[in-house]
């Protein structure tokens, strides 16, 4: 009521306003600031407004009753219209904001946004399709710019991931050394394609009859961690040559890390470093460690036990650190697994953390416990955790084949 | 780990007479099994109707989609066969719309004994013109289509997708969105568009040994009459029905006539 009174007052008071109200429906339709058209259900254009004809440069006689709406689109747009627009419009009765390009009479293209509704009769039967068309030239240019920026960002990400992969590969041995009479296997699971991980391992000959190995995990991730990983690898490998006692090599690494990174940005790592001396169908394994999860020993009879290295400290955290070593004798059918905590701290399907104890239970009874079989079993576990593996995981396993086994 | 069942992965829906002949309906590019909804009630009176979404479309499990497997029509044909195996479907009448007509041809050529009849709805064995062959389109036209896909996400939102896809048992979450039918990840649509419109299956037609009906529309901008005729002439013994319908989706624009064509062929001699 109030509105009517207001409008009446205003009409009387303001001649400019009353002139507006004399707009005819016809003029509103023909010269609306958007294109209008109505088509039969088969798309034949029955009615089109002057605005759209003007944009396209067509005469009314060429269009009405002679062309379908999809005839005014580019061929690719027509494909899209037939496979997406028309079926969706049929099913929903309306569809809005769909981007097309219309062809103009002079061969140009007009980017538009199209909205259509199906008009139904009183019996509910579809009768015709009403469509509005908005000039979207500016918007399309902006969208193209966004798409271009997105493509560029994707290319940049690919490039960064390739770089990370390459860097990661340089931190891992391209191939493991062969140890006569033994099987060895390793696996590296990167938690992220975007960041270099902080786990590392290697197996290498020291002298006739002795091989050295290590597997470790440096604090942090990304480029800063990669610097420590690289330093740790080369330091351990060089130090291992000079002294038969692996705790001495760990002491050297401790000194190097604590000197290099002392101050506000301490860097440290956990490592198991050791050596293997095969003799006949058995071998002696010396394991020395600092702060690392214990190696898992799986005997030929399927029992699995941890090999604790008592008294070892983190490497690089203190200027002087103590490291301990333990000897393990491997017989035919025995296997040893070294791993990083990316495995034991992965989230399982119940979202609880996996654990060393569950690992021991899962690998108990694994027979034959060859190095490849152990690594495969753990790799399957990791695959089962999916994105629950939040940190990088490195695996390194040794085994002695059963006599008459399949060792070449 | 056991493989995910096709029933879940491809959102299989079964309806109709359990004792009737099996009618397996395969949707085309651009939509999902919703496209059959106007013909399903009539078909269900006579047949055991099995509907599904191709991997990557509709409410299928998007995590099962890879650009390698679904970069050619063979990946889709393998899915159709795997579905038949898992549901133990025999004497199947396979109805393929649009690109699924060629997927049906590939599947039937691999395992002809599995299928009683084929119905190819608005098929095209090759969309691109090639010497004397007129498919109706050029390479550039297909690139334009890819652009149109790129600029239209039609209800797809990367943020909403996990909500919808992750809750197949709560479809009401998806119904709130506009264009909730035929929602497709644009990256997947792009690969499917290439597989669809750049395939050339003309040589596969001659290998069809299953009784086949070709259904075309009188006016179809995607599969013009000469393409329907080519398909019919290259499948020995096939029948051709031309519906007095317009557009590429007669199951929407002329559902009664589409049902009549299918039942006439399936229940006929």
The per-residue pLDDT of chain A, averaged, comes to: 88
List CB contacts (< 8 A) between B1 and chain A.
384
* Helix (H/G/I), strand (E/B), else coil: B267: helix
Lowest-confidence range among A4-13, A140-149, A358-367, B58-67?
A4-13
Say yes or no: A5 contacts chain B, CB-CB below 8 A.
no
CA triple B135-B139-B144, angle to 5 deg:
110
Residue B168 has pLDDT above 90, yes or no: no
At residue B180, the pLDDT reads 54
At residue A147, the pLDDT reads 82
Lowest-confidence range among A1-15, A96-110, B219-233?
A1-15
CB contact under 8 A, B148 and A82: no
Q: What is the mean pLDDT of residues A132-149?
A: 89
pLDDT band at A9 (very low <50, low <70, confident <90, very high): low
* Helix (H/G/I), strand (E/B), else coil: A263: coil
**Contact present, B264 and B215 (Cβ < 8 Å):** no
List CB contacts (< 8 A) between B182 and chain A.
84, 87-88
Q: What distance in Å separates the CA atoms of residue B208 and residue B200, rounded to the nearest whole number?
A: 15
What are the strands, taking DSSP E only, across B8-127? 13-16, 22-26, 48-51, 92-97, 115-121
Element (H, E) at B163: helix B161-165
B224 Cβ contact list (under 8 Å, min separation 6): B134, B136
At residue A175, the pLDDT reads 84
Tokens describing residue B216: 């075309």
B233 Cβ contact list (under 8 Å, min separation 6): none
Lowest-confidence range among A89-103, A154-168, A235-249, B165-179?
B165-179
Burial (CB count <10 Å: 0-12, 13-18, 19+), residue A49: buried
* Helix (H/G/I), strand (E/B), else coil: B215: strand
At residue B129, the pLDDT reads 94
B65 Cβ contact list (under 8 Å, min separation 6): B55, B56, B188
B86-127: pLDDT as tens digits: 999 999 999 999 999 999 999 999 999 999 999 999 999 999
Residue in A43, A80, A96 closest to B148 by CB: A80
List CB contacts (< 8 A) between A90 and chain B.
249, 252-253
At residue A1, the pLDDT reads 41
A66-114: pLDDT as tens digits: 999 999 999 989 989 998 899 889 888 898 888 899 999 999 999 999 9
Residue in A76, A140, A147 closest to B144 by CB: A76
**Contact present, B124 and B223 (Cβ < 8 Å):** yes
pLDDT band at A13 (very low <50, low <70, confident <90, very high): low
CB contact under 8 A, A86 and B28: no
Closest by Cα among A371, A174, A173 to A283: A371
Residue B243 has pLDDT above 60, yes or no: yes
- Residues of B with catalytic annotation? 98, 220, 248
Q: How many residues does chain B have?
A: 269
Residue of A nearest to B197 (CA): A79
The per-residue pLDDT of chain B, averaged, comes to: 88
CA triple B186-B188-B191, angle to 5 deg:
110
Residue of B nearest to A384 (CA): B1
Please provide the DSSP assignment of A301-325 as one string: TS-EEEE--TT---BSSSSS---EE
Percent of chain B with pLDDT over 90: 67
List CB contacts (< 8 A) between B162 and chain A.
none
Q: What is the mean pLDDT of residues B12-39?
A: 93
Mutate to test the interface with A, among B144, B175, B187, B188 (most CBs of A within 10 A): B144
Residue B167 has pLDDT above 70, yes or no: no
Phi, psi of A28 (to 5 degrees): -60, -40
CB contact under 8 A, B152 and A80: yes
Residue A286 has pLDDT above 80, yes or no: yes
- Sheet arrangement for strand A335-339: A183-189, A393-399, A335-339, A295-298, A304-307
A364-407: pLDDT as tens digits: 988 778 999 999 999 999 988 888 888 899 999 999 998 754 44
Query: What's the 3-state SS for B72-132?
Result: CHHHHHHHHHHHHHHCCCCCEEEEEECHHHHHHHHHHHHCHHHEEEEEEECCCCECECECC
B58-67: pLDDT as tens digits: 888 888 899 9
Query: What's the 3-state SS for A220-232?
Result: CCHHHHHHHHHHH
List CB contacts (< 8 A) between A82 and chain B.
220-222, 247-249
CB contact under 8 A, B145 and A82: no
A310-348: pLDDT as tens digits: 777 889 888 888 898 999 999 999 999 999 999 999 988
| Least Cα separation, residue B91 to chain A (angstroms) | 30
Residue in A87, A95, A101 closest to B31 by CB: A87
Residue of A nearest to B37 (CA): A91
A41-69: pLDDT as tens digits: 889 999 999 999 999 999 999 999 999 99
Residue A23 has pLDDT above 80, yes or no: no
pLDDT band at A212 (very low <50, low <70, confident <90, very high): very high
At residue B4, the pLDDT reads 66
Which residues on chain B place their C-beta less than 8 Å from a C-beta of chain A? 1, 28-31, 34-35, 37, 98, 137-138, 141-152, 154, 178-179, 181-182, 197, 219-222, 246-249, 252-253
Tokens describing residue B237: 């013994």
List CB contacts (< 8 A) between A91 and chain B.
34-35, 37, 181, 252
Residue in B144, B147, B182 closest to A84 by CB: B182
At residue A69, the pLDDT reads 95
> Helix A246-260 crosses helix A222-242 at what angle (to 10 degrees)?
140
Percent of chain A with pLDDT over 90: 54
Closest by Cα among B106, B155, B119 to B47: B119
Say yes or no: A154 contacts chain B, CB-CB below 8 A.
no
Residue of B nearest to A139 (CA): B151
* Helix (H/G/I), strand (E/B), else coil: B184: coil
């Amino acid at each position: 009521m109030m509105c009517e009174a207001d409008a009446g007052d205003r009409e009387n008071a303001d001649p400019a306003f009353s002139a507006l109200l004399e707009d005819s429906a016809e003029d509103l339709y023909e010269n609306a600031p958007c294109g209008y058209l109505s088509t039969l259900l088969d798309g034949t254009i029955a009615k089109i407004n002057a605005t759209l004809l003007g944009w396209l440069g067509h005469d009314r006689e060429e269009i009405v009753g002679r062309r379908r709406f999809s005839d005014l689109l580019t061929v690719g747009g027509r494909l899209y219209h037939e496979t997406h627009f028309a079926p969706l419009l049929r099913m929903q009765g309306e569809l809005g904001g769909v981007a097309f390009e219309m062809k103009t009479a002079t061969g140009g293209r007009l980017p538009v946004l199209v909205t259509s509704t199906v008009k139904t009769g009183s019996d509910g039967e579809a009768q015709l399709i009403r469509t509005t068309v908005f000039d979207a030239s500016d918007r399309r240019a902006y969208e193209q710019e966004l798409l271009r920026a997105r493509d560029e960002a994707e290319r940049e990400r690919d490039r960064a991931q390739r770089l990370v992969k390459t860097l990661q590969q340089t931190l891992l041995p391209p191939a493991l050394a062969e140890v006569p009479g033994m099987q060895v296997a390793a696996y590296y699971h990167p938690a992220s394609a975007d960041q270099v991980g902080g786990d590392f391992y290697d197996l290498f000959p020291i002298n006739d009859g002795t091989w050295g190995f290590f597997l470790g995990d440096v604090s942090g991730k990304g480029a800063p961690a990669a610097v420590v990983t690289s330093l740790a690898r080369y330091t351990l490998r060089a130090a291992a040559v000079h002294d038969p006692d692996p705790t001495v090599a760990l002491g050297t690494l401790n000194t190097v890390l604590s000197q290099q990174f002392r101050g506000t940005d301490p860097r440290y790592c956990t490592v198991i470093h050791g050596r293997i001396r095969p003799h006949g169908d058995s071998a002696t394994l010396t394991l020395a460690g600092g702060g690392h999860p214990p190696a898992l020993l799986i005997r030929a009879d399927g029992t699995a036990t941890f090999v604790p290295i008592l008294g070892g400290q983190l490497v690089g955290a203190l200027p002087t650190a103590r490291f301990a070593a333990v000897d393990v004798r491997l017989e035919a059918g025995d296997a040893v697994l070294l791993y990083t905590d990316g495995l034991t701290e992965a989230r399982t399907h119940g979202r609880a953390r996996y654990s060393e104890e569950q690992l021991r239970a899962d690998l108990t009874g694994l027979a034959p416990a060859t190095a490849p079989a152990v690594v495969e079993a753990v790799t399957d576990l990791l695959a089962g955790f999916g994105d629950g593996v939040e940190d990088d995981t490195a695996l390194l396993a040794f085994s002695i084949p059963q006599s008459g086994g399949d060792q070449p | 780990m056991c493989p995910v069942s096709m029933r879940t992965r491809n959102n299989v829906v079964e309806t109709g007479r359990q004792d009737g002949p099996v009618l397996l309906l395969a949707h085309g590019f651009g939509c999902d099994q919703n496209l059959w909804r106007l013909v399903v009630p009539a078909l269900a009176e006579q047949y055991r109707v099995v509907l599904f979404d191709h991997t990557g479309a509709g409410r299928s499990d998007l995590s099962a989609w890879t650009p390698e497997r679904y970069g050619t029509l063979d990946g889709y044909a393998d899915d159709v066969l795997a579905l038949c195996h898992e549901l133990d479907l025999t004497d199947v009448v396979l109805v393929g719309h649009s690109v699924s007509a060629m997927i049906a041809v590939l599947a039937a050529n691999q395992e002809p004994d599995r299928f009683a009849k084929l119905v190819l709805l608005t098929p095209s064995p090759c969309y691109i013109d090639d010497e004397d062959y007129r498919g109706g389109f050029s390479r550039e036209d297909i690139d334009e289509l890819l652009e149109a896909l790129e600029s239209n996400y039609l209800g797809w939102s990367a943020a909403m997708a996990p909500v919808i896809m992750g809750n197949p048992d709560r479809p009401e979450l998806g119904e709130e969105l506009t264009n909730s039918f035929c929602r497709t990840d644009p990256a997947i649509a792009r690969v499917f568009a290439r597989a669809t419109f750049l395939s050339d299956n003309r040589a596969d037609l001659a290998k069809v040994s299953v009784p086949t009906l070709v259904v075309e529309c009188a006016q179809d901008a995607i599969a013009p009459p000469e393409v329907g005729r080519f398909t019919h002439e290259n499948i020995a013994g096939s029948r051709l029905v031309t519906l007095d319908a317009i557009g590429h989706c007669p199951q929407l624009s002329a559902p009664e006539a589409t049902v009549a064509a299918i039942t006439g062929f399936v229940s006929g001699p």
